[in-house]
Amino acid sequence: MRNLYIDFDGVVCNSIEVTYKLMEEEGIDRSNFDECEAYYRRLDWNEVLSRVHIINGAIECIRKVVDSHKFDVAILTHVNSINEIVAKVNFISEYFPDLTLISVPKEISKTKMVCTKDAILIDDFPQNLVEWKEAGGYGIRFDLDMDGKGFPVIDRLDQILTNPDILNH
């Protein structure tokens, strides 16, 4: 069975949009890296996750993928704080008690946390996919506008089950 890693922010739910809205409400300058970094470290992720919406039926789609037994599925997400890890683990555990969530400190590439060789990563951030491919993995871009930016692209997670280019890679 092939390893399939699914990004959380921007793929499962719109948490980045929510954090940007909260930053705007607090007057945080998103172009100021230090200010943003400090903000993300102190952010109440329980509050963030209480405001998110699930993207394109991601929970049901993940359930279909898990139930297909075609992939060994895990969530692979960048994090900025222990608070964020705990909130994301609790969030995913509500829907999938047995699904692994791998938290990656923002300063470390996702490729350093798991074996990428022949593994699939579904991510909305192209740079993560570039690093994944360079490390021997197969990257799929998640994008609601279907802009792959040079990668195979999906806008629903269950499309991985029916896309022959992905299944035969």
We report the CATH number of the domain holding residue 82 as 3.40.50.1000
In terms of domains, do 69 and 21 share one? no
In terms of domains, do 8 and 42 share one? no
Instruction: Decide if 101 contacts 75 (C-beta within 8 A).
Output: yes
Distance CA 74, CA 5 (A): 5
Residue 55 clears pLDDT 90, i.e. is over it: yes
Mean pLDDT computed over 113-137:
96
pLDDT grade for 61, boundaries at 50, 70 and 90: very high
Helix (H, G, I), strand (E, B) or coil at 161: helix
Give the range of the structural domain holding residue 68, as residue numbers without chain letter. Answer: 2-13+54-167
CA atoms within 13 A on the CB side of 111: 16
In terms of domains, do 152 and 90 share one? yes
Number of structural domains (the chain) is 2
What is the reported pLDDT for 169? 65
Helix (H, G, I), strand (E, B) or coil at 82: helix
Instruction: Decide if 142 contacts 154 (C-beta within 8 A).
Output: yes
Beta bridge partners of 56: none
What is the reported pLDDT for 131? 98
Helix (H, G, I), strand (E, B) or coil at 121: strand
Helix (H, G, I), strand (E, B) or coil at 152: coil
Residue 168 clears pLDDT 90, i.e. is over it: no
